[in-house]
A and B are shown apart, each in its own frame.
Chain A
Amino acid sequence: MEKIKLATVWLGGCSGCHMSFLDLDEWLFDLAAAVEVVYSPIADLKHFPERVDVTLIEGAVANEEHLELVHTIRARSRLVVSFGDCAVTGNVTAMRNVIGNSAEAVLDRAYRELPTHNPRIPDEAGIVPPLLERVLPVHAVIPVDVFLPGCPPPAPRIRAVLQALIEGKTPEMIGREMLKFG
C-alpha cells in the first residue's frame, strides 16, 4: 500500500500546535509507518508539493505570503485540516484586528506607538511579506474539510484525528475531548 502523503504548514501561529504534534511521542513511529511527510516546517523543503493527501494548517492567514500559500495548498491537497485555534478562529493572531481595519494601524501601533527606542516602521522592500488588512481564519479563504480546535490541540486529540484519517474515516469531532477551544 502506498503511504499517505502528509503535509503540515505553519502560518500565522506560534508553532505551539506543531509542538503538541511532536508530543505524540512514540505514536509518531506508528504514524511514520503510515504516512510520508512531504512538507513541514520541521523538514526543510522549499516548495509545497503536488498531490498531497492531507495537509494540516497551523495558524491564521495574516499576510500575503500566507494567502498565496493556502490557495496553493487547497489546489494540491485532497483534505485540508484547520489545525489549532489560530487556523480555526484566528485566535491570538487575530487579536490585532480590533486595532482597526488596516495593516497600517497595526504597524503603527507596534513600531511607532509602543517602542520607546527608535520608533520606525521597517521599510526595506522584500524582507517581510505585507500584512493583510485583517487576519482571517483559514476557512474564510479556502474550503476546509476538518476543524481541529485547541490552543494548542492536545496530543490525544491530534492523534484521534490522524488515526481516523489514516483509516479513511471522517474524524468524529464531538465532546469536550475533541472540541474545546482554548
Chain B
Amino acid sequence: MSVVTLTINGQDVSARDDATVLQAAREAGIHIPVLCYLEGLSAVGACRLCLVEVAGVNRLLPACTTRVQEGMEVHTDTPRLQTYRRHIIELLFAERNHVCAVCVANGNCELQSLAIEVGMDHVRYDYVFPSLGMDLTHERFGLDHNRCILCTRCVRACDEIEGAHTLDVLGRGAKARIVTDLNMPWGESPTCTSCGKCAMACPTGAIFKQGSTVAEMVHHPEKLAFLKTARERREWRV
C-alpha cells in the first residue's frame, strides 16, 4: 500500500493508492454529490452525479469508481458539471411521480436535497406521469415505484449486506422496475428476511416502513457501512 498525491479543485490531497477519487475528496473535506453510491455497498457508477473532470482525460469520470492516481488533477464543480448535474436531477423528477408534498420522505430525501443543491427551481422537461403501482403486501415495508430512481442501493444492500438477494431489477430502460424475487408480491417472498436494510439504503421515499409518518421517516443509511465494517473486523462476538 502506498500513498499518492493529487489535487482536487486546486487543493493538494493525499490518499491511499487504492482509494477512489470520492474517498480522497471526502477525506479532504471536499463535497461531491452522490446518489447511487452508499458507503458499505459496492460502487456501480450509475447515477453520474459524481462525475468529475480530470486533466488530460477527455471523458468525465465517476468519482465513486475511479481510482486516484499520482499527480491527478481533479475538478469536481466546474460550470459544465453543475449544468449536467442539474439536468440529471431534472430528468429524475420528470421520469416518475415525485410529489414531495405528499411523500413520506419529504424532508428526509436525498433526491430532494440534491434538487436544492443543484439549484433546481423548476423542471424544464415535460413530466412523463407514468402509471406505476405500489407494493404494500409486505407486513412491515412498502415499495412505491412512483418515487424510485433505480439507484439499486436497495438491491445491493439486500444482496451484499443481508445476503438475501430478494430485490433485483426487471426490464430495461425506462421500463425497468425493482422487483422482489421472481416478480412476486413482496409479502409472498420466501427469501425476504424482513431485515429492513433496503429501507435504510433507499435515498428516497420509494421503500419505507409501513405506517411511518413523515416525521418518523428518518433514513439511516450509515448503519449499513457500520454493519459491514463491524462484520469485517469481527467486532461482534457470537
Residues of A within 8 A of B (CB): 82, 85, 88-92, 94-95, 97-100, 134, 137, 139-140, 144, 147, 149, 151, 173-176, 179-182
Asked whether B106 lies within 8 Å of A139 as measured between CB atoms, the reply is no
- A residues within 8 A CB of B122? 82, 88-89, 137, 139, 144, 147, 149
In chain B, residues 74-124, which have Cβ atoms closer than 8 Å to a Cβ of chain A?
A: 93, 97-103, 106-107, 112-113, 115-116, 119-123
Q: Can you list 8 residue pairs at the A/B interface with Cβ under 8 Å?
A: A85-B100, A90-B127, A92-B102, A94-B99, A137-B123, A137-B127, A179-B119, A180-B107
Measured CB to CB, the nearest residue on chain A to B214 is: A182
**Contact of B131 with A by CB under 8 A:** yes
For the residues of B in contact with A, the DSSP-based class is loop
| CA distance in complex: A180, B98 (Å) | 13
B119 lies within 8 A of A91 (CB): no
Having A89-B122, A181-B100, A181-B112, one finds 10 other A-B pairs with CB under 8 Å, namely A85-B101, A89-B93, A91-B101, A94-B127, A94-B129, A100-B131, A134-B129, A137-B122, A180-B107, A182-B112
Q: Judging by beta carbons under 8 Å apart, are A98 and B116 in contact?
A: no
B232 interface residue (CB < 8 Å to A): no
Chain B residues with CB under 8 Å of A99's CB are: 131
Contact B102 A89 (CB under 8 A): no
**Contact yes or no, B127 A174, CB < 8 A:** no
CA distance A100 to B130 in the complex (A): 9
The reply to whether B116 and A89 contact each other, CB–CB distance below 8 Å, is no
Interface residues of B (CB under 8 A from A): 93, 97-103, 106-107, 112-113, 115-116, 119-123, 126-127, 129-132, 146
Of the residues B99, B102, B121, B126, contact of A147 by C-beta under 8 Å: B121
Among B106, B121, B130, chain A packs the most CB atoms within 10 A around the CB of B121
Asked if A151 and B101 sit within 8 Å, CB to CB, the answer is yes
Question: A94-B127, A97-B129 known; A179 and B121 CB under 8 Å?
Answer: yes
Given A94-B127, A182-B107: A174 touches B119 (CB 8 Å cut-off)? yes
For B106, list chain A residues within 8 Å (CB): 182
Q: Which residues of B contact A88 (CB under 8 A)?
A: 121-122
A-chain residues with CB within 8 Å of residue B116 when the two chains form the complex: 175-176, 179-180
Q: Across the interface, do A98 and B130 meet the contact criterion of CB distance under 8 Å?
A: yes
Residue of A nearest to B94 (CB): A89
Residues from chain A with a CB closer than 8 A to the CB of B119 are 173-174, 179
